[in-house]
Amino acid sequence: MKITNACARVWRVPLIGVWAWAAASSAGIAFAQGDDVPDVDGPPHPLFAALRNIAPSVAPAAALQTWNGSFSYNSRTYTFTMVGTNPNTTNVVTTIPVYIIPLKLTLQRGGQVFDPMSIPANTGGLTALQNTVESPLFDSTTTYIQGGVNVGTTQYEDAYQRASFWGAVHTNTNYHTLLGGPTVLPEVSLQVPTNKGKTGTPFGETAAEVSINWLDSQIQSLITQLGIQPNTLPIFMTYKTYLTKGPECCIGGYHSAVGGQTYSEFTYVDQAGLFSQDVSALSHEIGEWMTDPLVNNQTACGLLEVGDPLEGNSNFGDYSYALHGFQYNLQDLVTLPYFGAPPSTSVNNFFTFQGESLTVCQNGS
């Protein structure tokens, strides 16, 4: 399901690129305000946030490395901005430094704690955070063979982007867009006010449900306090925490931009088969960040959001990849031809990384 910018008063930033899934079990909850989670049971409490003022050593302020391209569809030209360099005219490696900021959320309403430092039962003793760092999103030892074509031994999103532009990349073989690091910054503890978060069981397992507007305001403050620079990507990680917008639950992650500063949030859910399982939400969001970093690429389907058209598929569009003894779930992503670019742009004329059968704009965006 697509969460749209229905309430400009509450939504101060173009917070699109949201990955959401409707949960019927939360439909009966009354919401007082669009920004609040369910009705307040007691007097409101002030926000207590333990925010460390850390200035990571990053490159001097510089813009994110991006390139501009275009394609024609039905006699209209669509331009876009993506992360990296132009695969048609360059044959180089772009590496974007990544910071992961784990967010430990404590719900003032109920006192439960949701912590990315938790150790899921299926990781062999790794924390959710460690299991994310070891995932195919950052590890580059997985070989991706798509429809019989080896598109590279690399990180997942780079393999996807190479496949999406295989018409050029098969000759520009050194073309890569990589995530550097990641550098994990110290965990930040946030107290979720009574009217901004609660627990629920939207998919049958206990999870936090937290206002996306509230969390996004915390994240924007953190980007400033941490000294994050626009030429890097900060990723804010929560654990078993779905975001809500008014009565709508559950958002597994989002990507956004304030000016030239791009960023993303995702949650790690540890139960098999649930929405946002392990790094699936992150794989969705990073794919969308890489192909629409400023959240302004318009197409005939709407915004060029490469994860949204497939999130309704079985297992939420995820494919399983074994690495380090763990079965990671990585979401399939549509390629540029899905939005109307010439099919020859992508490997095997594929409309998705995994070769799912689709027509142009079939599932919207």
**Which chain residues interact with Zn ion by CB under 5 A?**
19, 288, 305, 307-308
Which lies closer to Zn ion via its Cβ, residue 278 or residue 288? 288
- Residue 19 CB, shortest distance to Zn ion, in Å, is 4
Angle between helices 156-164 and 280-291 (to 10 degrees): 40
Structure tokens at 144: 């991706």
Shortest distance, position 345 Cβ to Zn ion, whole Å? 21
| Between 36 and 157, CB nearer to Zn ion | 157
CB of 265 to Zn ion, least distance (A): 12
Nearer to Zn ion, 190 or 233 (CB): 233
Q: How far is the CB of 287 from Zn ion (least distance, A)?
A: 8
CA dihedral 57, 267, 110, 105 (to 10 degrees): 0
Q: How far is CA 288 from the centre of its chain?
A: 7
- Tell me how far, at minimum, the Cβ of 308 lies from Zn ion, in Å: 4
Q: From CA 131, how far away is CA 288, in angstroms rounded?
A: 22
Nearer to Zn ion, 81 or 183 (CB): 81
CB-wise, 278 or 308, nearer to Zn ion? 308
CA 360 to chain centre: 23
Q: In angstroms, how far apart are the furthest CA atoms of the chain?
A: 64
Q: Tell me the H-state helices in 118-232.
A: 128-133, 156-164, 166-169, 212-225
Q: Which residue has the tokens 């569009």?
A: 317
Let me know: does 85 contact 167? Beta carbons within 8 Å. no
Measured CA distances, 330 to 135, 219, 348 (Å): 10, 25, 20
Q: Is residue 288 within 8 Å of 310, Cβ to Cβ?
A: no
Name the minimum Å distance from CB 326 to Zn ion. Answer: 24
Output the smallest distance, CB 279 to Zn ion, in A: 15
Cα dist. 132→19, 277, 291, 330 in Å?
Answer: 18, 11, 21, 12
Dihedral angle over CA of 130, 267, 157, 73, nearest 10: 180
CB of 307 to Zn ion, least distance (A): 4
Report the residue number, 274 or 281, with the smaller CB distance to Zn ion. 281
Residue 36 or 288 with smaller CB distance to Zn ion: 288
* Of residues 216 and 305, the one with the C-beta less far from Zn ion: 305
CB 93 within 8 A of CB 178: yes
* Among candidate residues 181, 78, 176, the one with its CA nearest the CA of residue 138: 181
Q: Tell me the C-alpha distance between 198 and 43, whole Å.
A: 15
Pair 82, 66: CB distance under 8 Å: yes
Minimum CB separation from Zn ion for residue 199, in Å?
25
